[in-house]
């Protein structure tokens, strides 16, 4: 245990006498220091007990100002005083006791026969004893965590053991900011050695949830603390910068000390390993869904259905909408996870990655895209309701609707960020030309370019160049390329498609093909 004034005066061998029992006797002492300086504040630390013989008061010019002396000590962090008698004073000055008592500082009288070093040694022994106990607790706690990690309970068992060791609570948030697991101590058995039992829930759960989301949206490794009246919640992000997997939150009754932080650090490492493994599985699943979407767009719906059934997921029958979602750059992982969670285990909503975007196939009304956009700053383009045999054209509609949403139809998060195809079609004849047949023709015509290793990049460069009316300098600047590099890319598209982009008709054809495919 940590040394306190109450424990000190109970040490009979020291023969100390407490002069005011109404003061604060149970504050832990970080150290015991001796000084006869009139202002020893530069040489003491927080939670120190100061021993003095009072020599400084005899040397002072005029009557001693005990109030000012004690005030300096309190500001410096002194929480107790020991006065050595029979050196310069027969007893402890009453004025000193009164000044200290007024500030809640206990005063202990140290007899002449008790050297100050004996008091210092007593405190040092207790501090060293506590340090050894905390080291032993750390080893035991880390061993318990390791045993849980190799057992069958997985990460949930590790979090439960951590909660038991800290006598607190542990929350795990996913990369989307949603709670995945919550663990609290098992109250059926004795509490483990270590910190005293504390709160098993944060005082303000919503504040903790919001803080977890804030850390994730920063996209960088970080930690923070949420302090409430009865609990302290320590949050730590999991994963590498720009690849955050979640947040671990530990709720205790007070700040974590170094021993507890060491145990939490070991759990952070285990959680990151587990979440990385889960992320690898998720990447495999996303690759599968991307292939399923490719089958759907190419018209091989029966094959796509067979694949989804084989992994326990269905595809809705009947008319559907296609939505193309662009997540915000800084919190893309958070937004993508949120959309995928909506579709998890459902047959009426299918989500697949499409480059750095998401494509959603859903029955009308099955997913609230406006709410998702508002919560995660998404831009969304939505097609008309179509059958599964017309998905290529629907994707083209969703792409052009998304382009309108990204062009500044509204701030991320408002209803204008979700643009339906009907708003694009209201643009007149040109918009109405992009039928399913036009999309299929465009896909076929552009297939030789897409087959190239850098085909998608070539088409993206061509699109930007055309959007700048064939002006090389501004288009290259937007793409971050030298204009000669952009010329080389556009020329490669020109050769592959057999076009002459100096001719207006060929340039218009390329523009139409790109528009038709979104």
Q: What pLDDT sits at residue 104?
A: 94
Q: Are residues 148 and 263 in the same domain?
A: yes
**Averaged over 194-199, what is the pLDDT?**
41
Domain-embedded: residue 108: yes
Which positions ≥6 away from 263 have C-beta within 8 Å?
A: 138, 141, 142, 145, 162, 165, 166
Task: Please check the confidence at residue 336 and state whether its pLDDT lies above 50.
Answer: yes
Residue range 161-171, pLDDT digits in tens = 888 888 889 99
How many structural domains compose the chain? 4
Q: pLDDT tens across 41-57, in order? A: 999 989 999 999 998 88
User: Could you tell me if 171 and 265 lie in one domain?
Assistant: yes
pLDDT at 457 over 60: yes
User: Do 416 and 491 lie in a common domain?
Assistant: no
Please report, for the domain that includes residue 61, its CATH number.
3.40.1390.20
Flag whether pLDDT at 194 surpasses 80.
Answer: no
Do 235 and 152 lie in a common domain? yes
Q: Which residues pair with 360 in a beta bridge?
A: 323, 351
Q: Are 98 and 19 in contact (CB under 8 A)?
A: no
119 within some domain: no
Predicted local confidence at residue 93, as pLDDT: 92
Is residue 193 over pLDDT 50?
no
Q: Which residue, 51, 80, 114, sits at the end of a domain?
A: 114
- Which of 45-59, 144-158, 229-243, 458-472 is predicted with the least confidence, judged by mean pLDDT? 144-158
Q: Where are the beta strands (DSSP E) in 194-318?
A: 223-227, 232-240, 243-252
Q: Is 80 helix (H, G, I), strand (E, B) or coil?
A: strand
pLDDT band at 471; cut points 50, 70, 90: very high
The pLDDT value recorded for residue 108 is 95
Q: Are 458 and 367 in the same domain?
A: no
Question: Residues 224, 244: contact at Cβ < 8 Å?
Answer: no
pLDDT, position 489: 93
Same domain, 71 and 37: yes
Residue 38 lies in a domain: yes
Residue 59: the pLDDT is 67
> Does residue 225 belong to any structural domain of this protein?
yes
Q: Has residue 491 been placed in a domain?
A: yes
Whether residue 247 is found in the same domain as residue 303:
no
What is the rounded distance in angstroms from the CA atom of residue 393 to the CA atom of residue 443? 10
Contact 362, 321 (CB under 8 A): yes
- The residue among 391, 407, 429 that closes a domain is 429
**CB crowding 86-104: b at 16 or more within 10 Å, else e:** eeebeebeebbbebbbeee
Residues 274, 162 share a domain: yes
Per-chain mean pLDDT for the chain: 85
Q: Which domain holds residue 481?
A: 435-518
With a CB cutoff of 8 Å and minimum separation 6, the contacts of 109 are 16, 17, 18, 19, 82, 83, 85, 91, 92
Same domain, 331 and 406: yes
**What DSSP assignment string belongs to 422-442?**
HHHHTT-HHHHT--HHHHHHH
Furthest C-alpha separation in the chain: 111
Where do the H-state alpha helices sit in 150-236?
A: 154-166, 205-218
| Residue 422 sits in the same domain as residue 440 | no
Q: 164 is written with which tokens?
A: 């038991």
Write down the pLDDT at residue 316.
77
Where residue 256 falls among pLDDT bands split at 50, 70, 90?
confident
Q: Are residues 348 and 378 in the same domain?
A: yes
Of 278, 309, 332, which closes a domain?
Answer: 278
* pLDDT tens per residue, range 87-131: 888 889 999 999 999 999 999 999 999 999 999 999 999 989 888
Looking at the domain assignment, is residue 287 inside a domain? no
Q: Are residues 88 and 16 in the same domain?
A: yes
pLDDT bin (cut points 50, 70, 90) of residue 60 is: low
Residue 277, both tokens: 């493994």
Predicted local distance difference test score (pLDDT) of residue 190: 44
Quick: pLDDT tens for 370-407.
888 888 889 999 999 988 888 888 888 888 888 888 87
- 114 vs 11: CA distance, rounded Å: 12
**Tens digit of each residue's pLDDT (9 = 90 or more) over 4-44:** 999 999 999 999 999 988 889 999 999 999 999 999 999 99
- CATH code of the domain in which 370 resides: 3.30.70.270
Which helix (H) or strand (E) segment holds residue 51: the answer is: strand 48-52
Residue 141 Cα distances to 2, 144, 266, angstroms = 20, 5, 10
Q: Give percent of the chain with pLDDT exceeding 90.
A: 33
Answer yes or no: is 302 within a domain: yes
CATH number at residue 271: 3.30.450.30
Cβ neighbours of 67 (radius 10 Å): 15
Please indicate, yes or no, if residue 132 is contained in any of the structural domains: no
């Amino acid at each position: 245990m940590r040394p306190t004034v109450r424990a000190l005066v109970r040490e009979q061998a020291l023969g100390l006498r407490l002069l005011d029992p109404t003061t604060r006797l149970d504050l832990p002492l970080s150290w015991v220091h001796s000084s006869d300086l009139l202002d020893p504040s530069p040489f003491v630390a927080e939670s120190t007990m100061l021993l003095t013989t009072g020599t400084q008061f005899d040397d002072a010019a005029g009557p001693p100002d005990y109030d000012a002396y004690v005030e300096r000590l309190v500001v410096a962090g002194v929480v107790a005083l020991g006065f050595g008698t029979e050196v310069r004073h027969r007893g402890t000055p009453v004025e000193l006791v009164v000044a200290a008592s007024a500030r809640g500082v206990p005063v202990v009288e140290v007899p002449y026969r008790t050297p100050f070093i004996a008091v210092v040694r007593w405190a040092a022994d207790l501090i060293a004893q506590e340090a050894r106990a905390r080291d032993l607790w750390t080893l035991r706690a880390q061993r318990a965590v390791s045993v849980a990690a190799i057992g069958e309970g997985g990460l949930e068992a590790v979090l439960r053991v951590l909660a038991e060791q800290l006598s607190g609570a542990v929350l795990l948030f996913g990369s989307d900011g949603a709670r995945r697991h919550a663990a609290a101590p098992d109250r059926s058995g004795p509490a483990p050695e270590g910190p005293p039992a504390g709160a098993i829930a944060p005082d303000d759960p919503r504040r903790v949830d919001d803080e977890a989301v804030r850390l994730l949206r920063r996209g960088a490794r970080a930690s923070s603390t949420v302090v409430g009246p009865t609990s302290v919640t320590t949050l730590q992000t999991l994963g590498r910068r720009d690849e955050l997997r979640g947040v671990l939150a530990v709720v205790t009754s007070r700040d974590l000390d170094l021993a507890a932080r060491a145990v939490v650090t070991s759990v952070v490492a285990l959680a990151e390993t587990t979440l990385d493994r889960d992320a690898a599985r998720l990447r495999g699943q996303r690759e599968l869904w991307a292939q399923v979407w490719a089958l759907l767009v190419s018209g091989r719906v029966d094959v796509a259905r067979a694949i989804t059934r084989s992994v326990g997921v269905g595809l809705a029958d009947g008319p559907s909408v296609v939505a193309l979602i662009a997540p915000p750059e800084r919190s893309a992982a958070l937004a993508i996870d949120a959309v995928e969670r909506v579709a998890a285990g459902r047959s009426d909503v299918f989500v697949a990655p499409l480059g750095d975007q998401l494509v959603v196939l859903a029955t009308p009304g099955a997913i609230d895209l406006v709410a998702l956009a508002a919560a995660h700053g998404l831009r969304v383009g939505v097609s008309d309701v179509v059958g599964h045999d017309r998905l290529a054209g629907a994707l083209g509609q969703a792409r052009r609707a998304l382009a309108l949403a990204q062009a500044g139809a509204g701030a991320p998060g408002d209803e204008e960020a979700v643009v339906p195809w009907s708003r694009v079609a209201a643009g007149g004849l040109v918009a109405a030309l992009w039928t399913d047949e036009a999309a299929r023709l465009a896909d076929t015509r552009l297939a030789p370019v897409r087959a190239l290793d850098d085909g998608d990049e070539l088409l993206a460069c061509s699109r930007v160049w055309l959007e700048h009316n064939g002006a090389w300098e501004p288009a290259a600047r937007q793409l971050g390329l030298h204009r000669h590099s952009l010329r080389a890319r556009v020329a490669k598209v020109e050769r592959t498609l057999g076009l002459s982009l100096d001719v207006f008709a060929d340039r218009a054809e390329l523009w139409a093909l790109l528009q038709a495919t979104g």
